[in-house]
Amino acid sequence: MRGRVLEVLADVARVVDATGQVHLCQFRGRLKRDVDQVLAGDWVDLAPTRPMAMVERVLPRQNRLVRPPLANAEGLLAVFCPIQPMGSLALLDRRLVTAELLGLLSAIVVTKADLWADDPTVWQRLAPWRAIYPMVAVSSVAGDGWERIPDMLGDGVWVMTGESGVGKTSLLRRLLPDGTGTGAVGALSGRTGRGRHTTRTVALAPVGTAWLADTPGFTHLELPPHDALTLRDAFPEWRDARCRYGDCRHLDEPGCVVPQWLATGQISAERHQHYRLLQAEPEPSRHRPWM
Ligand SMILES: Nc1nc2c(ncn2[C@@H]2O[C@H](COP(=O)(O)OP(=O)(O)OP(=O)(O)O)[C@@H](O)[C@H]2O)c(=O)[nH]1
Ligand SMILES: [Mg+2]
Ligand SMILES: [Zn+2]
């Protein structure tokens, strides 16, 4: 029997089969030795042993995220809050670039719409992002917007990321079918003391036909390994720029077309500034594999 791992807890896993039934499973001998051998998101073969089914084999992975530890992710849901607390658009771009570098789809959820629905400047500020990425505004208090999310996610595994306090866990609770998630969601993202997070396990929660993983609001977010041109291409707005030099990074090189686009407002100066800062960062450490 084929199944998808929803969560790994010490030496058992919760695995959902094709009919939607969830099994608590043990691991076959050699899989036990290394915790990373079975991850949430993995496709596995199960043997219907009793009293617990057994994970026999992990199918080859498409990709593997380190933080959170997750296999076969398809998309990154960037959660942004424009008010209380005011999010950082530089960090939002960092998350979107991370998705691009990892080859993931991306989409943006703008939270706490109940607090800013009457403020048109919020939409104006977000216009450059809205032009490029799927974007939906939600309020977990008023209950608006969230019903558009399942369609946006399709049927893959998505990982939710965003600064602490933006409303990720609240949104996930809204999205879950009644009563299924309360326990599991609570365990995902906890806080001990001052803004220190503990995430022991990552769990996939059902959202429509997709699976969504909550994460705590990481403050330090290192980009996956990349080179300058891959980073350049992680910004869709200048992918078809034809500058004098093919390896133009659009950072003050002669014959670059991007300054004109910036001057006319065709592309966002704010995004370009974030791009410039990302290009100026030291190389990310290579020892930490992202995939
Ligand atoms: N007004 C308003 N408050 C919200 C909304 N969604 C969440 N909140 C509040 O924002 C605070 C943080 O919400 P969480 O869902 O815990 O945020 P989080 O992104 O999971 O935070 P971390 O787990 O720390 O990364 C809580 O006090 C929520 O009640 C919303 O739509 N409107
Ligand atoms: Mg949370
Ligand atoms: Zn250029």
Instruction: Answer yes or no: is pLDDT of 5 > 90.
Output: yes
Residues 40 and 157 reside in one and the same domain: no
Mean pLDDT, residues 82-95 taken together? 93
Q: What is the pLDDT of residue 58?
A: 94
Tell which atom from ligand 1 comes closest to the C-alpha of 142.
Answer: 31
* Cβ pair 214, 168 in contact under 8 A: yes
Give the number of domains in the chain.
Answer: 3
- Position 205 confidence tier, pLDDT thresholds 50, 70, 90: very high
Residue 86: pLDDT above 70?
Answer: yes
At 189 the pLDDT is: 38
- Average pLDDT of the segment spanning 194-209: 70
Give the three-state DSSP class for 204: strand
Which ligand 1 atom is at minimum distance from the Cα of 166? 19
Q: How many angstroms does the Cα of residue 112 sit away from the middle of ligand 1?
A: 8
Q: Which domain holds residue 38?
A: 2-60
18, 110: one domain: no
Q: Do both 197 and 251 map to the same domain? A: no
Instruction: Choose the residue to mutate in 141, 170, 189, 199 for probing ligand 1, maximizing ligand atoms within 8 Å of C-beta.
Output: 170
Whole-number Å distance, alpha carbon 97 to ligand 2 midpoint, is 22
**What CA–CA distance (Å, rounded) separates 139 from 143?**
5
**Which-ligand-closest: CA of 272?**
3
Neighbours of ion ligand 3 (CB under 5 A): 243, 248, 250, 256, 258
Of the candidates 33, 60, 87, which is a domain's last residue? 60
pLDDT tens per residue, range 217-260: 876 678 888 999 999 999 999 999 999 999 999 999 999 999 99
Convert the pLDDT of each residue in 112-148 to its tens digit. 999 999 999 999 999 999 999 999 999 999 888 888 9
CA of 105 to the centre of ligand 3 (A): 25
132: domain CATH number? 3.40.50.300
pLDDT, residue 187, reads 37
Model pLDDT, residue 284: 72
**Is 112 in the same domain as 167?**
yes
Residue/partner pairs of 262-271 with CB below 8 Å, 24 or more apart: 267/128, 267/237, 267/238, 268/128, 268/237, 270/89, 270/128, 271/93, 271/128, 271/129, 271/235, 271/237
Q: Is 186 exposed, middle or buried (0-12, 13-18, 19+ CB in 10 A)?
A: exposed
Distance CA 118, CA 114 (A): 9
Q: Are residues 101 and 200 in the same domain?
A: yes
Q: How far is the CA of 196 from the centre of ligand 2 (A)?
A: 12
Q: Report the pLDDT value the prediction gives residue 182, as an integer from 0 to 100.
A: 43
* pLDDT at residue 84, rounded to an integer: 83
Strand partners, 65: 70
What is the per-residue pLDDT for 195?
A: 37
- 90 and 142 both lie in a single domain: yes
Residues belonging to the chain: 291
Q: CA–CA separation, 219 vs 176, rounded Å?
A: 26
Asked if the model's pLDDT at residue 183 lies above 60, the reply is no
Question: Contact at 8 Å (CB) between 138 and 131?
Answer: no
Is pLDDT larger for residue 41 or for residue 32? 41
- Ligand 1 contact via 161 beta carbon (within 6 Å): no
Same domain flag for 176 and 101: yes
Give the predicted TM-score (pTM) of the model.
Answer: 0.90
Which protein residues have their CB within 5 A of the ion that is ligand 2? Answer: 168-169, 189
Establish if 182 belongs to a structural domain: yes
pLDDT greater than 90 at residue 283 = no
Q: What is the mean pLDDT of residues 81-102?
A: 94
How far does the chain reach from its first CA to its final CA, in angstroms? Answer: 27
CB 28 less than 6 A from any atom of ligand 1 = no
Ligand positioned closest to the Cα atom of 253: 3
Cα–Cα dist 145/263, whole Å: 35
Q: Which ligand places an atom closest to the C-alpha of 165?
A: 1
pLDDT at 142: 87
pLDDT interval class at 190 (50, 70, 90): very low
Are 96 and 188 in a shared domain? yes
Distance 166 CA to ligand 1 centre (A): 5
Using CB atoms within 10 Å of the CB of residue 20, give its burial: 0 to 12 exposed, 13 to 18 middle, 19+ buried.
exposed
- Is 130 strand, coil or helix? helix
* pLDDT at residue 184, rounded to an integer: 43
Q: Which ligand is nearest to the CA of 244?
A: 3
Q: Taking the alpha carbons of 81, 82, 83, 85 in that order, is the dihedral positive or negative?
A: positive
CATH at 232: 1.10.40.50
Check residue 188 and give its pLDDT: 38
Residues 38 and 156 grouped into a single domain: no
Confirm whether 56 is domain-assigned. Answer: yes
Q: Is residue 237 part of a domain?
A: yes
